[in-house]
Amino acid sequence: MCQHTDYITFLDADDLLLPSLSNIFSKKKLFGDLIAFNFNYLYFNKTVKSGQNFYKSDRKLEVKNIKKYLYKYLSKPNKYSLYTTCWAKLYKTKILLLNKKLYFNEKLLMCEDTDFVFRFLTNSKSVQFINDSIYMHKLGLAKENLKKLTFGARLDTKNQISFLTAVESCKNYFIKNGHTSSEIQKKIDHCIGAYTIIYTIRSCLRINSLSSFMSTYLFWKNLYNKNILSNKMVNYSFKRAGGHWGLPFLIRNKMYFISILTAYYICKKRYL
């Protein structure tokens, strides 16, 4: 239905597009294959909070600018979120029509938007930033987080590691723009380590019984012992990520049961 448009954008079911979006087309010169904007937060209690303001002025983002930002993302993926959400952006329609491999990976039920944006970014010849907020993203308070697909509380636990696919898509951007895999591997490992901590904690939202606690514990115990995560945690730095030392210390020292107990406590304190 959108194939005859210049751009498409995405809107989550519980979010809002701001009226400022309609002014963009008459007041701004749009040239980017990918155009990113600022956005605001709206809590379910109707409190509006200033969201992400990524740059202070409109600009064309050169490869060096994007790399600089992605280095920050790889250090603190939960903070530097310009490319981790599909919304608050415009995508040139013809690029999607010419390359259907860029479509969303429907096998991913979490982090699918991050994976999509990184792949689209890698295939964009020009990236533009406009210093306007066009989007209102709703955030949950306390138990409302259980309803957010971002946390995957109602999904099978295996979906918690979808971030591995998203980070790999980020890595491909660097490789396409002159880096070898080995040059950025430690940064990639650190990012995976950061996501491991984040999603270990978030996965505890689904715990509501002894059996759900045990299934969560066994899921992560199995993964922590595999190279897919254990080798990455070696290069993870809680200081660089801006996190706490406790949980990564427990995981590295294979105190997995205590790790999930600790993650459950942090989850309750942070989200519930």
DSSP 8-state class, residue 37: E
In Å, how far from its chain's centre is CA 166? Answer: 8
Higher pLDDT, residue 270 or 144: 270
SS3 242: coil
The vertex-147 CA angle with 213 and 119, nearest 5°, equals 95
Domains of the chain, residue spans: 7-143, 180-271
Contact 181, 246 (CB under 8 A): no
- Give the helix ranges, DSSP H, for the chain: 20-27, 63-75, 93-98, 112-122, 163-176, 181-203, 210-224, 227-233, 238-241, 246-252, 256-271
> Which pLDDT does position 50 carry in this prediction?
67
- Exposure of 193 by Cβ count < 10 A (0-12 exposed, 13-18 middle, 19+ buried)? buried
Per-residue model confidence as pLDDT tens digits over 106-163: 999 999 999 999 999 999 999 999 999 999 988 776 666 666 777 777 888 899 999 9
Of 208, 207, 192, which Cα lies nearest the Cα of 251? 192
Helices 181-203, 63-75: crossing angle, 10 deg rounding: 50
CA distances from 6 to 94, 118, 169, 228, 230 (A): 7, 20, 25, 40, 45
Taking the model in full, what pTM does it have? 0.92
Average pLDDT over residues 189-198: 96
Q: Which amino acid is at 236?
A: Y
* Distance between CA atoms of residues 265 and 245, nearest Å: 15
Per-residue model confidence as pLDDT tens digits over 195-251: 999 999 999 988 999 999 999 999 999 999 998 899 899 999 999 999 999 999 999
Average pLDDT over residues 51-80: 93
Average pLDDT, the chain: 92
